[in-house]
Amino acid sequence: MAGPTIDDLIGLVELGTVHGELALSPDGAYIAVFERRANLARNDYDHTLIIVPTHGGPPRAIADGGGFIRHASDGRRTGGPAERAPIWSPDSQWVAFIAEREGRAELWRANIDGGHSERVTALDGDVSNIVWLSDGRLLADIGPARVTLAQDATQDAAIGYRVDDRLSPIFSLNRMPRSEARSVIVDAEGGNAAIDPAQRAALIAVQTARLPVIAPRLGAPAVQAPPRELRIEDGGQRQQCSTDLCAGDIRNPMLLANGDVAFIRVAGFARTETSIEVWTPSTGAVREIRTSEDRISCVGGGQIYCLREGTRRPRELIAVNPNSGATRILYNANPSWSRFDAPRIERIDFTDPRGLESYAHLVYPAGYRRGRRYPLVIVQYRSRGFLRGGTGGDYPIYPFAARGYFVLSVERPDDLLRQTQLNAEDFFAEQNLSGEENRMKLDAIEAFLTGLERRGLIDPARVAITGLSDGSETLYLALLRRHFAAAIVSTQPTERSAWWLQSETVRAHLRRYGDVVPWTQSEPWRSWWSANAISEQASAIDTPLLFNVSHTEAMGAMELYVRLREQGVPTEMYLYPDAYHLKWRPLQVLASQERSMAWVDYWLRDMEVENSSDPDRIARWRALRGSAPVAGTAH
């Protein structure tokens, strides 16, 4: 069968959210997790709370979790989903969860028989986190009172508002809402009472006593990535895992039913290997039970239960035997995905002269024939787990491959050594002022392209590059280095205007690095702005560039867009209302993906893909082609 389309991608069932959010019942009988499905009719997502028997058997839906809840950091929305881990009652009969109801994040619970779910209590703010205490009460963290937020918005609309630190124009011309966090205790009858941070910390300490933790090693230097250790603390007594297997990039500690501690260790070339390790505190022994390139998040009990995704495989729920490492699938949420032809995927490794490691997954085009050169699409900037569409999901990898393209899914390099030698501020300054961060990313992409050209796999005249966030930063700089057949970007470039469009808090933070203002005449920041302000170098860009930018980030992209238009570079810009750093509405994701594929088809393969919602698109693009400068003449 042919490869998947963008409609097939949007139709996938997602398990959990960003970090998985599995919950194992105290009696070990069930796993609770959210399923997420796109609802195109509502242009939203539907969340269903399900429980899966750990001994095997079909999942059961026990509650409606409502629509999408957007993550907010200090009041600023990113477009990513809020974490909403289900929480079990101590008697394993109920699951508490955060549900979306008419735009509110509310505290609900559902009985495991699936016959009853209810709002636990009416809280005056949105719920962001819940803990079911051992005495049967619930602890809930909530945001500012909704009535206060509404009053703020009404007053701002009526009489305006003073520019203060809640305004960050680079993201929005609306002030960020208040971000005060509060905690309440909810009793069995639904009554609630506020508690102070010290009371909250004491309750959490009781809940987490004897649980394993991963923390910076005691006495470790103040560096960005300090040495960490796995330990258990109980009543002032500390047990520490002291073998090398408990060092490095270790995550997700889990206490197993037999008293052992399982954890995840990320190692290998460019941190591509993920292993599950088991530590026996009574003997100090550590054993590795499973290693792969899969992306996993787990909880522990009698066995280890994980959400697992691979390059070709969407998330599924598995059980791992902590003794043998044997794996069984508890729930495959997307069995129909296996009907598609699985493309060939090759991992390509690169080590630069400084020893920095990077890799990329090369996805072969459908019907690949040896000896033929194909067009290539570059997707960035993480390539871990299921290859959906790069960071942000705007650039659909498997549909591109099904259309006849090589796709290079790039994992950006990280200077892991320097992160263990410098604190976060010094690391930031060194990486930026030396240009090392930009150099290592661009050199990796150039090395991948050179290798593919030498192998005769790709047509160097038909290469497109895409990017969002850090990937867009790399894209803009890459356009200054070479001509691509096409480019598509989802985030605004760095410009001098970014300084005054930021909040005062951000500017105050950056001033700690010296005379950093964009009008400075002092080195090294004068040279940094000259090298990184993209629109000032627009004359070096001659690649046809499509902007797929959210409303909240459009302002920072306008200068480059206008400059490219006025110098005759083929460019178009699409804006997405109510989108943030990430697009969260499924119809917008689909639209972004369709436009991206059509833009690549047009410039790399001379294919004109019509779209009924934009009937003039092909005529506009033909006009852009007619006015385009000859490649290289803009330099």
CA-atom Rg of the chain in angstroms:
26
Same-fold call for 1-208 versus 343-495+533-627: no
pLDDT beyond 70 at 633: no
Q: What pLDDT digit, counting tens, does each position of 549-603 carry?
A: 998 889 999 999 999 999 999 999 999 998 989 999 999 999 999 999 999 999 9
Average pLDDT over residues 186-201: 91
Residue bearing the bigger pLDDT, 630 or 41: 41
pLDDT for 206: 87
Q: What pLDDT digit, counting tens, does each position of 91-106 carry?
A: 999 999 999 999 999 9
Average pLDDT, the chain: 92
Average pLDDT over residues 66-81: 80
Give the bridge partners for 87, in sequence order: 96
The angle subtended at Cα 136 by Cα 132 and Cα 139, nearest 5°, is: 40
Average pLDDT over residues 390-407: 97
pLDDT for 268: 93
Name the least confident of 23-27, 470-474, 630-634. 630-634
pLDDT beyond 50 at 634: no
Under the banding of pLDDT at 50, 70 and 90, the label for residue 630 is low
Q: Residue 66 in contact with residue 101, Cβ under 8 Å?
A: yes
Residue bearing the bigger pLDDT, 452 or 191: 452
Spatial separation of the C-alpha atoms in residues 574 and 590, rounded to whole Å: 13
Q: Residue 132 in contact with residue 112, Cβ under 8 Å?
A: no
pLDDT for 632: 52
CB within 8 Å of 103: residues ≥ 6 apart: none
Count the helix, strand and coil residues of the chain and give each as a percent rounded to the nearest 5. 25, 35, 40
Spatial separation of the C-alpha atoms in residues 503 and 164, rounded to whole Å: 8
Average pLDDT over residues 72-92: 84
pLDDT for 236: 67
Domain ranges of the chain: 1-208, 240-342, 343-495+533-627
Average pLDDT over residues 28-53: 97
Give the bridge partners for 273, in sequence order: 267
Under the banding of pLDDT at 50, 70 and 90, the label for residue 428 is confident
pLDDT beyond 50 at 136: yes
pLDDT for 74: 62
Q: How many CB atoms lie within 10 A of CB 520?
A: 14
CB within 8 Å of 613: residues ≥ 6 apart: none
pLDDT beyond 90 at 80: no
pLDDT beyond 90 at 180: no
State what percent of residues in the chain have pLDDT above 90: 75
Helix (H, G, I), strand (E, B) or coil at 57: coil
CB within 8 Å of 10: residues ≥ 6 apart: 38, 40, 586, 589, 590
pLDDT for 566: 95
Average pLDDT over residues 360-373: 97
Residue bearing the bigger pLDDT, 176 or 54: 54
pLDDT for 635: 38
- What tokens does 165 get? 């630190």
Under the banding of pLDDT at 50, 70 and 90, the label for residue 380 is very high
Closest CA to 358 of 346, 343, 348: 348
Under the banding of pLDDT at 50, 70 and 90, the label for residue 72 is confident
pLDDT for 575: 96
pLDDT for 40: 97
Under the banding of pLDDT at 50, 70 and 90, the label for residue 215 is confident
Q: What pLDDT digit, counting tens, does each position of 276-321 carry?
A: 999 999 999 999 999 999 999 999 999 999 999 999 999 999 999 9
Q: What pLDDT digit, counting tens, does each position of 259-282 carry?
A: 999 999 999 999 999 999 999 999
User: Which pTM was predicted?
Assistant: 0.95
Q: What pLDDT digit, counting tens, does each position of 219-240 carry?
A: 778 788 888 889 887 766 788 8
pLDDT for 417: 82
What is the CATH number that goes with domain 1-208? 2.120.10
Average pLDDT over residues 68-82: 79
pLDDT beyond 70 at 37: yes
Closest CA to 375 of 365, 387, 388: 365
CATH 3.40.50.280 fits 343-495+533-627, yes or no: no
Name the least confident of 41-45, 86-90, 204-208, 334-338. 204-208
